[in-house]
Structure 1
Amino acid sequence: MITIETAPIAGQKAGTSGLRRKTRDFMEPRFLENYIQSILNAIGGAKGKTFVIGGDGRYFNADAIQTILRMAAAQGADAAIVGQNGLLSTPAASHLIRLNKTDGGFILSASHNPGGIDEDFGLKFNMPNGGPATEAVTNEIFAQTQNLTSYQTMESPAVDLATRGQTSLGDMAITIVDPVADYAALMQDLFDFDAIRSLFEGGFRMAFDAMHAITGPYATTILEDTLAAPKGTVRNGIPLPDFGGGHPDPNPIWAKELMQTMMADDAPDFGAASDGDGDRNMIVGRGAYVTPSDSLAVIAAHAHRAPGYAKGLAGVARSMPTSAAVDRVAAAKGMGCFETPTGWKFFGTLLDAGKVNLCGEESAGTGSDHVREKDGLWAVLMWLNIIASTGQSVADLMTDHWQTYGRNYYSRHDYEAVDSAIANTLMDDLRAKLPTLPGQTVAGLTVSGADEFAYDDPVDGSHTSGQGIRVMFDAGARVVLRLSGTGTQGATIRVYLERLEEDPGKLHQDAETALADVINAANQIAEIADRTGRAAPDVKT
């Protein structure tokens, strides 16, 4: 072990899920080492512990893993489990942590953010339950970054990450594992692979866009090699350090080619995509895009069709900005329903306590208690299982769902890379308005309530405040505004828009048209255009 003197580096505060900065920032001397040491200090050191390590293959992934291995070995870790070539999807890493009962894991990813030397990189620590570090641990990591004076590492040749099997670094044992095998076995336990295979053998056509990100090898193994989907079903299936120059965010904007395929006259029956680290998903049928909020609700209504969930769900949870569509399913089926802050870490206690089996976020994240992360490919397989069981198309499933539960029209408008001072002032001024809003009529809508969301965890009693501003209107409409914690420059203002429609004759409108008055009300109340100088959002999803 060698000790290197260092000093705190400003700005090493984790966002919604780990620390994300420009790749070149992580490549600066001491930046990565400081953050790794702060994580190790915050969890009581590495001595005697076993860690899972892997990432989405973006630029600098393998180099960062070598640094983690050297520092863990120098500080007395017993063992490390590493994905071959440094690759592990985030849900697969969570599964390996749980399967091997390790002391946690280091996941290298900036999720859906672009990759490359001039783009984004990220690192987060996951707990022994497989889930993201809790608020308490995240706060301790940040405190450590502010007081760090040294870090410990060792000088050694690079570990061979390409060859599966056993190796070592100092006294630390290292196992290089197939990144797909254990995850694929878990999926086979949860879903009716025979029924899905029969679907493909019967001529069912699918297009899966892996976006040159980590899910490519997982989707190819499971969909094409195991479930008999035709070769070529998985597109852009080879992970690349810069995601092929694309933006690995599975939404209609960045998965444009897939959307064009699915809206064509000769479209496949089913389309899907996943993101940089494999934890997000997009679901689309022939001519029918499914919002993440609706996808969560449909899964809640039909999860019992998959063998792993045949007994039904104990409960469901959603992040606060996610639409209330799943709430209506839960109420109808007598299930528990929880509303949490944004960030998968807030679902962890509910999952561990058995209060919920299904969780989802409007930002294209859906998952269950099989791991402690959202899981893109899991959601895709669940939809395939539902389609195989019901014999219905995506469009028919959505129509039936809305007729049964009503439709929560929903859209998210993102104003990206807004000057941080402007964004914070907008939020501060809106916060000051909250007590005066109830009773006002704006854009024809009457405000029924306004607050800033806070959460008391029903399991561990922890309190989390400042989680987004909510403005509720009569007739089941609302606006939510919050600043995103996933960007790397400036601030992203996210505006979430929702309206409940129960009239059977109004269930098939364009969402932006159905939400027009809610959009106008949001702009007037928050003065978005005036404050930002933006006539329209950068992205609508």
Structure 2
Amino acid sequence: MGAKASRMRTKEEACRGSANPSHKGLPADQILSRPTTAYQDQKPGTSGLRKKTKVFMQKDYLANFAQSVFNCLPEEEKKGGTLLVSGDGRFFSHEAIYEICSIAAGNGVGRVWIGLNGLASTPACSAIIRERENGICFGGFLLTASHNPGGIDEDFGVKYDTANGAPGYEALMNEVWEKSKTISTIKYAKLPKFSIDKLGVQVNIDGAFQVEVIDPIEDWLKLMKEAFHFPAIKRLLALPHFSFVYDSMHGVSGPYAEKLFIEEFGAKRECLMRQDPLVSLSPGKGVCRSCSVVSASFASK
């Protein structure tokens, strides 16, 4: 009974998102469907579904998983709702974002938020889902495989976060897995090609469905200011005998580091290393990478 009650509380907490009355979702005559063949290996783990990139590039592999998630969500949650789709920018992310947006539109979603350039860190995604527009977002697809390298011969991943900003609870993801093994139809909508490198609404279909590119940092930064004493940190970094080096390793944290350390704290730009996100997420491995960070640290003394 206790475990069941715990799962129920988790489910209730996970379903906080609400529909935006200004976005109703596309009418039925604009929603299309196509047949698909189920895969039997789409069981998500604690970090979502992770496979080699070429696996995700198989016909409808990503689409099947996304549709299986939508098949498990309440209709009232999806219809006219707001969904986040972003990730760490690894190889195949842009194609995946467009695919999920198309399927979201086909499943009644009213609006999709995408982080600028398709980027949003996992903590930032949680903040956006929970905080932006008073928590109107019902969930999000996060395209990430953590610290694993990206590339056509490397890793790709997708996980679904619910309205509480946490990964989908176990019962939901088990249901997604079961649906994925028997899925036969994908619902989608034809969307115009759109840019994700500038802020603002990029797709607007009669006001019923929108794709909006958002600042992926502002909600996260607001929470950071609530959690930490920024003036004290700024004073510390201004001390003449204090120095530091932050290595983003060409991952998604680069833009966040620049906003935080340079713009907010006034640190010198040379304190940052490899802050430009790459599709490979790979600055080098092991000892070589560690040596470069250590060398930079001593050079700043």
Aligned mates of 2:287, 2:80 — CA distance in 1: 46
Q: Deviations over 1:26-47 (max 9, x none)?
A: 1111101101001111123532
Greater C-alpha Rg: 1
User: Pairwise CA RMSD of aligned residues?
Assistant: 1.9
Aligned mates of 1:137, 1:268 — CA distance in 2: 49
Task: Report the equivalent of 1:138.
Answer: 173
Which amino acid counterpart does residue 61 of structure 2 have in structure 1?
F
Contact residue 283 and residue 289 of structure 2 kept, 8 A: no
Aligned mates of 2:201, 2:284 — CA distance in 1: 35
Aligned mates of 2:71, 2:288 — CA distance in 1: 38
Aligned mates of 1:50, 1:167 — CA distance in 2: 15
Q: Alpha-carbon deviation of 1:50?
A: 1.2
Task: Report the equivalent of 2:50.
Answer: 20
Task: Report the equivalent of 1:256.
Answer: 290
- Residue 104 of structure 2: SS of its match in structure 1? helix
Kindly tell me: are residues 154 and 53 of structure 1, through their superposed partners in 2, closer, same or farther at Cα, counting changes over 3 Å? same
Which amino acid counterpart does residue 281 of structure 2 have in structure 1?
F
Aligned mates of 2:52, 2:105 — CA distance in 1: 27
Task: Report the equivalent of 1:222.
Answer: 260
Q: Deviations over 1:334-359 (max 9, x none)?
A: xxxxxxxxxxxxxxxxxxxxxxxxxx
Task: Report the equivalent of 1:92.
Answer: 124
Task: Report the equivalent of 1:55.
Answer: 87
Which amino acid counterpart does residue 135 of structure 1 have in structure 2?
E
Task: Report the equivalent of 2:3.
Answer: none
Q: 1:208 aligns with which of 246, 250, 253?
A: 246
Q: 1:30 aligns with which of 38, 47, 60?
A: 60
Contact residue 159 and residue 169 of structure 1 kept, 8 A: no
Q: Alpha-carbon deviation of 1:144?
A: 0.7
Q: Deviations over 1:225-258 (max 9, x none)?
A: 21011111110000000124546xxxx6584235
Q: Deviations over 1:80-109 (max 9, x none)?
A: 111011111110010000013110111000
1:108 and 2:135 aligned: no
Q: 1:181 aligns with which of 203, 218, 228?
A: 218
- What are the residue-to-residue correspondences of 1:458-497 with 2, within 5 Å? none
1:241 and 2:287 aligned: no
Task: Report the equivalent of 2:193.
Answer: 158
Which amino acid counterpart does residue 43 of structure 2 have in structure 1?
K
Q: Deviations over 1:117-138 (max 9, x none)?
A: 1100000000100000111111
Higher relative contact order, chain-length normalized (CA < 8 Å, sep 6+): 2
Which amino acid counterpart does residue 240 of structure 1 have in structure 2?
L
Percent identity (aligned): 35
User: Aligned residue pairs: how many?
Assistant: 263
Which amino acid counterpart does residue 38 of structure 1 have in structure 2?
S
Contact residue 70 and residue 169 of structure 1 kept, 8 A: no
Which amino acid counterpart does residue 227 of structure 2 have in structure 1?
L
Aligned mates of 1:29, 1:246 — CA distance in 2: 32
1:41 and 2:71 aligned: yes
Unpaired runs of 5+ in structure 2? 1-30
Q: Alpha-carbon deviation of 1:115?
A: 0.4
Aligned mates of 1:254, 1:133 — CA distance in 2: 37
Q: Deviations over 1:134-191 (max 9, x none)?
A: 1111101101111101111122322221121123353212221111122122212221
Contact residue 20 and residue 120 of structure 1 kept, 8 A: yes
Q: 2:209 aligns with which of 157, 172, 179?
A: 172
Aligned mates of 2:211, 2:64 — CA distance in 1: 23
Kindly tell me: are residues 254 and 107 of structure 1, through their superposed partners in 2, closer, same or farther at Cα, counting changes over 3 Å? farther
Higher-strand-fraction structure? 1
Aligned mates of 1:207, 1:124 — CA distance in 2: 31
Aligned mates of 1:80, 1:254 — CA distance in 2: 40
Which amino acid counterpart does residue 233 of structure 1 have in structure 2?
C
TM-score by length of 2: 0.82
Task: Report the equivalent of 1:69.
Answer: 101
Contact residue 4 and residue 150 of structure 1 kept, 8 A: yes
Aligned mates of 2:299, 2:71 — CA distance in 1: 53
Kindly tell me: are residues 172 and 225 of structure 1, through their superposed partners in 2, closer, same or farther at Cα, counting changes over 3 Å? same
Higher-helix-fraction structure? 2
Unpaired runs of 5+ in structure 1? 270-541
Contact residue 86 and residue 119 of structure 2 kept, 8 A: yes
Q: 1:232 aligns with which of 270, 277, 287?
A: 270
Kindly tell me: are residues 254 and 180 of structure 1, through their superposed partners in 2, closer, same or farther at Cα, counting changes over 3 Å? farther
